[in-house]
Amino acid sequence: MMHKDVKEFINFIQSRDGIGNKTSLITEVQNKFKLTKDRSVYYSKHFAVRFSYSSSNGFSNTVISLSNLQKYDDQPFFVCLVTPTKNIIYLANTTFLQKISHSSQQLRVDNIRGSINGSDISKKFGELENSPKNFEKLFSIHAELGFEGNLARLVEATTNISPSGKKFSVSASAKKAIEDENFEVRFDTDFEGVLAGCSDRESTWISEELKSAYSGLKKLGHIHTVETWKDEKLVGGLYGVTFRGAFFGESMFSKVSQASKAALAVLLKHLKEKKFVLLDVQYITEHLKMFGAVEISFEEYTKLLHKSYAMIAEF
């Protein structure tokens, strides 16, 4: 929960709409909240803010260097845009940055360089508008990631360095084989049935203790199933754990030919539509190779993981 000083600061900024003068607003805010000045940033132990002025609601002014933002990224960092009629506040922690504009392509995970423009700040994060009514929820998301959790994503977005490897796809032959079976594929209607199907083999790693843990994750909304049905019988499917923009496949099963392939094909389409970033299949099999699964390096995986954790995706 944000400190009361943060809420008071936001309310005060909004109450001063129309002041139209950045210097005057800074003076009032600094006096009221006893803020310390660090170059262009004003901060307390509860929040930090950078003021900027624009004659309109849009701005591309330089806001702060990434290295300086790093010092404040563990608390709410605001940008207050003073316009002639309104003071606009954005949360500008690293989670809400699209890229680093002034980096001269030198930004690396081990080389913190570059500065942020107003245009680099996301005005919307997932379905959440970057505005005071959502600041508490947005900062709680950022707090789970922090500076380190966003750095690899920002490097990739800024320097166009991205993981290699082809994306998952469904071949024409696989599509035809699945369509010929006339399956019905459903989501999240029979978790117990899918779990039973996946563990119904001579040797299984899905213990009773693990089943209990999965049930707990399901109650929290982090377990999802893709089920293949035929003649009103569950004949195959898969399940996985979701977090933000990542889907971690756990196991799959098939009682009739093509049933698990059908579930996987539908999952791929669904994840793409829902804008998931990562599908982790744990290890490569011939079955998964048919759908374009590839192995990547730990460094590439880490980049994708950080990128997916910075996203909000609803299964």
Q: Which residue ranges does the chain devote to CATH 3.40.630.70? A: 172-309
What tokens were used for 91?
């949360």
pLDDT score for 46: 96
Of residues 292 and 266, the one with the higher pLDDT is 266
pLDDT digits (tens, 9 = 90+) for 164-218: 444 556 667 667 767 777 889 999 999 999 999 999 888 888 988 999 999 999 9
pLDDT digits (tens, 9 = 90+) for 210-247: 999 999 999 999 999 999 999 999 999 999 999 988 99
Closest CA to 96 of 156, 57, 143: 143
Name the pairing type of β-strands 184-187 and 246-254: unpaired
What tokens were used for 310?
């910075």
Inter-residue contact 92 to 118 (CB < 8 Å): no
Please give the average per-residue pLDDT across 19-38, as a whole number.
95
Rounded Cα–Cα distance for residues 258 and 235 (Å): 10
pLDDT score for 165: 44
In percent, how much of the chain has pLDDT > 70?
A: 92
Inter-residue contact 241 to 309 (CB < 8 Å): no
Please give the average per-residue pLDDT across 297-305, as a whole number.
78
Q: Choose the CATH number for 172-309 among 3.40.630.70, 3.30.565.10, 3.30.465.10, 3.40.190.10.
A: 3.40.630.70
What tokens were used for 93?
């922690």
In percent, how much of the chain has pLDDT > 90?
A: 53
Rounded Cα–Cα distance for residues 29 and 128 (Å): 27
- In this prediction, residue 249 has a pLDDT band, given cuts at 50, 70 and 90, of very high
pLDDT score for 162: 47
Give me the torsion for CA of 183, 186, 192, 196, rounded to 10°.
Answer: 30
Predicted TM-score (pTM) of this structure: 0.58
Per-residue DSSP letters for 177-233? Answer: HHHHTT-EEEESS-HHHHHHHHH-SSS-S--HHHHHHHHHHHHTT-EEEEEEEETTE
Inter-residue contact 102 to 114 (CB < 8 Å): yes
pLDDT score for 179: 75
What tokens were used for 43?
């901060």
pLDDT score for 75: 96
pLDDT digits (tens, 9 = 90+) for 47-81: 999 999 988 877 777 899 999 999 999 999 999 99
Give the three-state DSSP class for 236: strand
Residue at 16: amino acid letter = R
Name the pairing type of β-strands 62-65 and 233-243: unpaired
pLDDT score for 123: 92
Name the pairing type of β-strands 128-129 and 124-125: antiparallel
